A = this chain, B = another copy of it.
Amino acid sequence: MTKLTLGFVGLGAMGQNAARQLLLAGHRVQGFDLRQESLQTFAEHGGEVAASLAHVGKNAMGTVIFVVNAVQAEAVLFGAEGLAANAALGHLVISCVTMSAADAKRLAARCRASGLVFIDAPVSGGVAGAAAGSLSIMASGPADALEACAPVFAAMGSRVLNVGTEAGQGSTFKTINQLLCGVHLAAAGEAMAIAERAGLDTQQVFDLVSESAAASWMLRDRGPAMVMRTYVPVRSAVDIFVKDLGLVMDLARDLRFPAMVSAAALQSFLGASGAGLGNKDDSAVTEFYRLGASHHDH
């Protein structure tokens, strides 16, 4: 298999795991992150730490970007030390960032103007999927660029969908994926909380609904935390869904689409975040429905 030299920016929980998969696959990876401890962990697993953002991807065919949002991605690309000023012409920008289709299109256009090639490749599967190299990758971009990225995707993910040739298509796929994840989480939170309010045994309710036509992946995965009302470990945070359902709302507004159920789900995440639970596990969305009742956070 071709061994590539790659840049990698954003070594948080997911990025760190995804970068490790690239290292395990034998690729050479030059990593950067603003957090020193993230760089240390990266180095311990065989990564080359770039001295600064300006050094990332100097001699690489492309750079994987695994930051939190479009604003951070834009800084990585077009900030003072960004890739646009330092990478070679034709450098592949492999964006695994969850952002709006509008932002993906805009960044792709700016990349094009700077001689970079933007790949819109958001992922699904969370920290666990990244650790297992089993992410789903929803990639759109020029066909030859996607082909060149195939070894990168193969290392990080177990399912790679080629969803189109335009930036924005990958992000729209991811937005719709998050619509369902967010609504299912809010619905699970609503169901478990109303069960408790009605005086039912919530564990028995969970046992029933997680094995009936009422089941969802999110309910099965996050339901036990809702029954216990303990929100550690943090798999994904309440505020991640504030962001991701916000992207759904932006898309819906752009399309003049009445996404009522998603809008209601967003309100429950906003309520939980506003109650101080923004950095708790996303299962804490159920606490929105139990305001006033104390929860257990060990």
Whether B184 pairs with A172 at a CB distance below 8 angstroms is no
Question: Residue A23 at the B interface, CB < 8 A?
Answer: no
Question: Residue A163 at the B interface, CB < 8 A?
Answer: yes
Q: Which residues of B contact A193 (CB under 8 A)?
A: 257
Whether B184 pairs with A179 at a CB distance below 8 angstroms is no
| Distance from A139 Cβ to chain B, minimum over Cβ atoms (Å) | 12
| Distance from A160 Cβ to chain B, minimum over Cβ atoms (Å) | 11
Whether B198 pairs with A251 at a CB distance below 8 angstroms is yes
Complex partner residue of A259 from B179, B188, B194, CB under 8 angstroms = B194
Complex partner residue of A261 from B176, B180, B187, CB under 8 angstroms = B187
Question: Residue A263 at the B interface, CB < 8 A?
Answer: yes
Which one, A9-17, A69-77, A210-218, is touching chain B? A210-218
Whether A264 pairs with B257 at a CB distance below 8 angstroms is no
Whether B184 pairs with A187 at a CB distance below 8 angstroms is yes
Whether B172 pairs with A213 at a CB distance below 8 angstroms is no
Complex partner residue of A205 from B176, B201, B213, B267, CB under 8 angstroms = B176
Interface string of A211-228 (1 = CB under 8 A from B): 111111111010000000
A251 to B195, CA, bound (A): 10
For chain A residues 76-99, which have a beta carbon within 8 Å of chain B?
A: none
A214-B261 contact in complex given A136-B208, A255-B198, C-beta closer than 8 Å: no
- Chain B residue at minimal CB-CB distance from A252: B194
A218 to B212, CA, bound (A): 10
A178 to B190, CA, bound (A): 12
Q: Chain A: how many interface residues by the 8 Å CB criterion?
A: 62
Q: Which residues of B contact A215 (CB under 8 A)?
A: 180, 216-217
| Distance from A68 Cβ to chain B, minimum over Cβ atoms (Å) | 18
Complex partner residue of A184 from B184, B200, B260, B264, CB under 8 angstroms = B184
Question: Residue A169 at the B interface, CB < 8 A?
Answer: yes
Q: Which residues of B contact A125 (CB under 8 A)?
A: 212-213
A219-B180 contact in complex given A208-B138, A208-B161, A262-B190, C-beta closer than 8 Å: yes
A138 to B176, CA, bound (A): 34
Whether B267 pairs with A260 at a CB distance below 8 angstroms is yes
Question: Residue A59 at the B interface, CB < 8 A?
Answer: no
Q: Which residues of B contact A216 (CB under 8 A)?
A: 180, 184, 215-217, 219
8 contacts between A and B (CB under 8 A): A124-B214, A173-B200, A179-B187, A180-B219, A194-B251, A198-B251, A213-B218, A257-B289
The 3 A-B residue pairs whose C-beta atoms are closest, nearest first, are A180-B214, A216-B216, A264-B264
